[in-house]
């Protein structure tokens, strides 16, 4: 392993993230669904939305990558990571905090179902090329039918989320990379209607995110240490593995 010690990363995206009051620590270790699944196309109906009640003042969130298990990333690897999300605005910020989606879905899969998702990704970038990949993410869910699946952060309050991020995308060749993160809040609706089009958030209700700070230097390997290589997309320089779970 290139860096043999556990690495603590403070303030990967530090702009707007200061000394906050932590109100919840969420440990997703061992939750297989938290590695990031991909909903069917057309199910997302809103992005960067804030959850009702809608506020007339834009909501703001700061995000930092507090800890990462290693700076050597391999295909299909599960990497321990810890994120902090802080309300850096002046109005309450409501976040989905439930670890899995399957137990929130109705038994009748044809029944209308709306849920919110907060995604905390690891973003790998190649500095010299200006390209990047979302290699994997931790995800938390909420539905208005279950008020306990949300947490309201007051200004200056924060949560920490720890879990194992499944590496689902990587470059075909070994790369020196930087690692950063963002916070993404989205709304989804099922069943999916082919005529349903994605619409942006209400301009009076959107999530402003802090500007990226100095990312972490790391190394991404194009081959796993023992397992065979997954199939790569023939038209790109990176690989996708949808079997990580």
Mean pLDDT by runs of 10 across the 245 residues of the chain is 40 50 95 68 71 65 93 94 94 93 89 92 92 94 95 96 95 94 89 62 61 79 75 79 62
Phi/psi at 147 (5° precision): -55, -25
Q: What is the DSSP string of 30-54?
A: T-GGGG---PPTT-EEEESBPPSSP
Q: For 92, which DSSP code?
A: -
Distance between CA 118 and CA 114 in Å, rounded?
14
> Could you tell me the pTM of the whole model?
0.83
Q: Where are the domains of the chain?
A: 7-240
Q: What is the pLDDT of residue 5?
A: 35
Length of the chain: 245
CA–CA dist 242, 84 (Å, integer): 27
Nearest to 237 by CA among 190, 165, 175: 175
């Amino acid at each position: 392993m290139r860096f043999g010690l556990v690495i603590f990363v403070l303030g990967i995206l530090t702009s707007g993230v200061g000394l906050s009051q932590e109100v919840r620590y969420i440990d997703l270790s061992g939750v297989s669904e938290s590695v990031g699944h991909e909903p069917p196309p057309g199910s997302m109906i809103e992005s960067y939305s804030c959850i009702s009640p809608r506020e007339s003042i834009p909501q703001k969130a700061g995000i930092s990558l507090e800890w990462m298990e290693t700076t050597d990333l391999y295909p299909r690897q599960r990497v321990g990571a810890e994120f902090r999300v802080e309300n850096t605005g002046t109005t309450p910020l409501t976040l989905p905090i439930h670890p899995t989606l399957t137990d929130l879905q109705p038994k009748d899969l044809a029944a209308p179902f709306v849920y919110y998702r907060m995604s905390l990704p690891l973003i790998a970038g190649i500095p010299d090329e200006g390209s990047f990949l979302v290699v994997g993410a931790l995800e938390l869910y909420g539905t208005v039918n279950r008020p306990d699946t949300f947490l309201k952060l007051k200004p200056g309050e924060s949560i920490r989320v720890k879990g194992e991020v499944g590496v689902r995308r990587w470059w075909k060749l070994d790369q020196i990379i930087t690692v950063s993160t963002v916070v993404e809040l989205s709304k989804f609706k099922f069943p999916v209607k082919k005529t349903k089009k994605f619409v942006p958030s209400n301009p009076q209700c959107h999530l402003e995110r802090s500007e990226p700070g100095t990312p972490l230097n790391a190394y991404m390997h194009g081959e796993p240490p023992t397992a065979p290589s997954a199939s790569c997309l023939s038209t790109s320089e990176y690989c996708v593995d949808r079997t990580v779970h």
